[in-house]
Chain A
Amino acid sequence: MAIAQETVILHGHIIDSLILAKVLDTILMMGGTFDLEEVVIGKTRHEPSRAKILVQASSTDLLAEILRAVQPHGASIERELDCRWEAAPADGVFPDEFYATSHLPTQVRLQGRWIDVERIEMDLGIVVNADKTAARAVPMGDVRRGESVVTGRTGIRVIPLQRPQERDVFSFMESQVSAERPHGHIVADVARRTDLLREGHRNGKPDSKVLLAGGPAIIHAGGRDALAWLIDSGFVHVLFCGNALAAHDMEADLYGTSLGYGLSAGRAVPHGHEHHLRTINRIRAIGSIQAAVESGVIKEGIMAACVKRGVQVVMAGTIRDDGPLPGVITDSVAAQAAMRAAIPGVGLALLVASTLHAVATGNLLPARIPTVCVDVNPAVPTKLADRGSFQAVGLVMDAASFLRDVARELGWKG
């Protein structure tokens, strides 16, 4: 984070004297922001109160100025200690007291300096490098015996998210999920962001990739053309899906059906239930989706667009999968690692019509990445919103309508 911050403590009769109010006003008036991390109010008039205030400013100079201004009112800098760590007792095992991460930006104090934890993600541990100059979030399974794993809670601080500069749906950090909410402005904001990110991606700007994690309902509901157009137009840069989305997308290309239903007529086609199996079998025979597209067997659709546009695709398998298609990662830990590796550089995540992939992707995303979760089932966006992703917007909406509306906002004529 490009901001400077420090925690100060205010102690005494700070409420009725309005000293707390004065300190907070001073911080704001000087152009800083604050987060009241803890306020303990005395139960009687005689009992003192205590407030722990995280002061943030856009520069270290401004922060120093603010701290100088609030210090005479009793706001003293909290005594700080380095974080503690212990060696991992075995491969894949954290020490007992390991610190479990949140998905918020996190810093650890090493040799007196606050260091950003790299690759932050929720529910991981923090490993400190050998010379104690860097720290990174590490999944439990990836830790190696003897690595220094941060333990306890001292010397660790979690940085609250800053409101994004863009004035759109994400800047309000609203996570209520409701089918009754109008969708138009959210779709328009998502489209605007997507457009900006494509521009950024073309100009090599960091964190400008758009990630889409989707389920097969996109095909069944009729969102295939819109998504294929979005990919083909360079609006999507990473695709997370399972066996089914890819299989039904290519089934539609080869047979004009999705799970046996004619996509245009909407009726079950004789022997249609075999189509996706025949599709998978065909691709397995060819060897890969890429080869199937390049050889002209698969001509159009989502997977074809991905191959043509060089979109990074991670397909994670499940125990109910047929086949699966070549390229589907059936080891779920390996799949998780492949998804994790594709996260850096993502600036917007669209989680569309897939409980499994939406939740899995949500778990991997740092909180700062704006996320839209679209599902007809309110339970899915609610589940993501409950994780406290401030910038996760939930939309109770049909996947195809969402993709079509976004694509139309961006110029799709379908």
Chain B
Amino acid sequence: MSRLLVCPPDYFRIDYEINPWMRRSNVVAPEEAVRQWHRLMEVLEKEVGVVLERMKPVPGLPDLVFTANAGVVAGRKAVPSRFRYPERQREEAHFEGWFREHGYEIVTLDEGLYFEGAGDLLGFPDGWFGGYRQRSDIRAFPILSELFGKEILPVELIDSRFYHLDTCFCPLSGGELLYYPAAFDRYGRAAIAERIPADRRLAVPEREALKFACNAVCAGKHVVLPAGCPDTMLLLESRGYRPHPVPLDEFMKSGGSAKCLTLALD
């Protein structure tokens, strides 16, 4: 059974602007955000059947809710993130603390070597992809590759709206890839095509990519994705997946959705 790390949105709000989605003037409705988050948790636990590990929210750290950026976990090893922006660097100690308290072996990257966790490192059992340029530094990947014994193919993120790999790239359990090709340059698209055959690449239309259709959580045949992405749902259904749309627009004000709100622990 999959386990996911989540963090309740008690202090979620927009205090700063570090991606094109964030506007301080676009105020979060706190009650609605809490309602949406709990609905997501309900779907994950009851409909998908995953186990949730809840960490304690911290006042003044509004983005702690986006646990995908806590770090990356494989087996008993955890590499906590090194955030590019000082606004989120204050989260590092809390994520690291959680990993430590839960018995993970902590491996830290050098200071200044930016790496934003599972937000920028995703893949399939035999090989991972690392998104770089917007947030993570490409030089982190050879270190992580050696640490985890996995191939990591770096792919450049060329559109600042898709600033983490998990905003435009979602590997599915059956080996398919849900993705938005225009978020990558021709080298990245060619590298992806080299590893994932055409019949397994599911390209999301721009309209839905901008609703973060790719920021989905896949567990077995279940895919939890933001509401308002009918074409993506049809694509998923055509491959035998069961899509679970959840309204998450309060979190989109901050540039995050279903996947950003979770971290796969195993």
Residues of A whose CB lies within 8 Å of any CB of B are 11-13, 16-19, 21-22, 45-46, 48, 72-74, 76
Bound-state Cα–Cα, A12 to B155, Å: 12
- A394 CB, nearest partner CB in chain B, Å: 42
Contact of A76 among B139, B154, B188 (CB under 8 A): B139
Chain A residue numbers with a CB within 8 Å of B154 are 12-13, 17, 19, 74
* 30 pairs, A vs B, C-beta closer than 8 Å: A11-B142, A12-B138, A12-B142, A12-B152, A13-B142, A13-B151, A13-B152, A13-B153, A16-B153, A16-B194, A16-B195, A17-B154, A17-B155, A17-B187, A17-B188, A18-B188, A18-B190, A19-B187, A21-B187, A22-B185, A22-B187, A45-B151, A46-B145, A46-B149, A46-B151, A73-B138, A73-B156, A74-B138, A74-B139, A76-B139
Q: How many A-B residue pairs have CB under 8 A?
A: 57
- A299 CB, nearest partner CB in chain B, Å: 73
Contact mask for chain B residues 120-156; partner A; CB cutoff 8 A; 1 contact, 0 none? 0000001100001100001101100110011111111
- B242 CB, nearest partner CB in chain A, Å: 32
Chain A residue numbers with a CB within 8 Å of B146 are 48
Given A17-B191, A18-B191, A72-B133, A12 and B156 contact (CB-CB distance below 8 Å): no
B81-118 contacts to A (CB < 8 Å) = none
Closest chain A residue, CB of each to CB of B144: A12
Contact mask for chain B residues 138-180; partner A; CB cutoff 8 A; 1 contact, 0 none? 1101100110011111111000000000000000000000000
Task: Give 4 nearest A-B pairs by CB, closest first.
Answer: A12-B142, A18-B187, A17-B153, A74-B138
Closest chain A residue, CB of each to CB of B152: A13
Chain B residue numbers with a CB within 8 Å of A19 are 138, 154, 187
Bound-state Cα–Cα, A11 to B145, Å: 11
Given A19-B187, A72-B138, A48 and B155 contact (CB-CB distance below 8 Å): no
Chain B residue numbers with a CB within 8 Å of A17 are 153-155, 187-188, 191
Chain B residue numbers with a CB within 8 Å of A11 are 139, 142
- B149 CB, nearest partner CB in chain A, Å: 6
Bound-state Cα–Cα, A11 to B190, Å: 19
Bound-state Cα–Cα, A73 to B188, Å: 12
Chain A residue numbers with a CB within 8 Å of B191 are 16-18
Closest chain B residue, CB of each to CB of A11: B142
Contact of B145 among A13, A16, A22, A73 (CB under 8 A): A13
- A256 CB, nearest partner CB in chain B, Å: 74
A17, A22, A46, A74, most chain B CB atoms within 10 A:
A17
Bound-state Cα–Cα, A48 to B138, Å: 13
- A30 CB, nearest partner CB in chain B, Å: 16
Chain B residue numbers with a CB within 8 Å of A73 are 138, 156
Chain B residue numbers with a CB within 8 Å of A76 are 139
- A71 CB, nearest partner CB in chain B, Å: 10
